């Protein structure tokens, strides 16, 4: 497993995500993923499966100290007291005294960003998280978060797949010493019928999912989240560190980006997104 280093954090480059994963599937898949060799698990308060993630880790036989565990504070919990209380609840559900990375899940200007970052730093100082970060922030919000935070901001978790150009955000993250964590890598299934990706997959004798995940982790400073409720696909997703895409193939995948390629942009949560350069 390759690691990505960012502002003092060492993050396994491929994570197992649990977005929209029901409790029973989470209980089944988290220990399976860990036994396969995944060492990075991603959840969130709003996913409503933190308890099952915690149970899955506990039953996996893999030491908690060997696992990089991420969760995210939901926007309704950003006021200081609610923030701290919600983190304590997350830790109880996750059966741990700390997470490795705690993120602000989406921007929310109902609570000043300074208060959000202050609470994030407070729980970090208390040892409840080893590292802090943000998710779904544009470059202006990233810069504000970095300026407001005593603790280094280690990542911005954003939508990233072949159909969206995130070069502006990636460039800003690199300049700040941050990683980018990409979610929705399969573009809600769109990649599986893409002829260009199919051709590259055929050339390597790999699945399209493996090609996309390899494209993500082969980029400097990019962490990829994979998600599946299939044991076989989880093993396939992990098997991406024994081959490389050529510079030409990397470039060809980048050229698939479209101006309207963004999929996740919920009203009331999404910021004013950065335009591609």
Residues forming the active site:
47
CA distance 104 to 93: 18
The answer to the question of whether 40 is labelled as a binding residue is no
The binding site for substrate consists of 105
Which residues are known binding-site members? 105
């Amino acid at each position: 497993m390759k690691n990505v280093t960012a502002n003092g954090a060492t993050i396994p480059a491929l994570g197992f995500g649990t977005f929209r994963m029901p409790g029973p599937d989470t209980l089944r898949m988290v220990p399976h993923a860990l036994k396969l060799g995944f060492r990075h698990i991603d959840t969130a308060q709003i996913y409503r499966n933190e308890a099952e993630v915690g149970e899955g880790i506990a039953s996996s036989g893999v030491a908690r100290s060997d696992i990089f565990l991420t969760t995210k504070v939901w926007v309704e919990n950003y006021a200081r007291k609610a923030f701290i209380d919600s983190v304590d609840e997350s830790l109880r559900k996750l059966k741990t005294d700390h997470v490795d990375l705690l993120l602000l899940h989406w921007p929310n200007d109902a609570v000043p960003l300074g208060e959000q970052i202050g609470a994030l730093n407070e729980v970090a100082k208390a040892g409840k998280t080893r590292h802090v970060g943000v998710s779904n922030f544009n470059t202006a919000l990233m810069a504000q978060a970095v300026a407001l935070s005593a603790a280094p901001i280690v990542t911005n978790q954003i939508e990233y797949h072949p159909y969206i150009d995130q070069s502006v955000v990636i460039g800003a993250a690199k300049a700040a010493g941050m990683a980018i964590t990409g979610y929705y890598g399969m573009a809600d299934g769109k990649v599986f019928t893409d002829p260009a990706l199919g051709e590259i997959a055929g050339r390597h004798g790999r699945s399209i999912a493996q090609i996309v995940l390899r494209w993500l982790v082969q980029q400097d400073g990019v962490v990829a989240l994979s998600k599946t409720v299939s044991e076989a696909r989880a093993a396939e997703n992990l098997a991406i560190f024994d081959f490389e895409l050529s510079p030409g193939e990397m470039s060809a995948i980048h050229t698939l980006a479209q101006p309207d390629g963004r999929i996740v942009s919920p009203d009331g949560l999404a910021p004013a997104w950065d335009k591609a350069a």
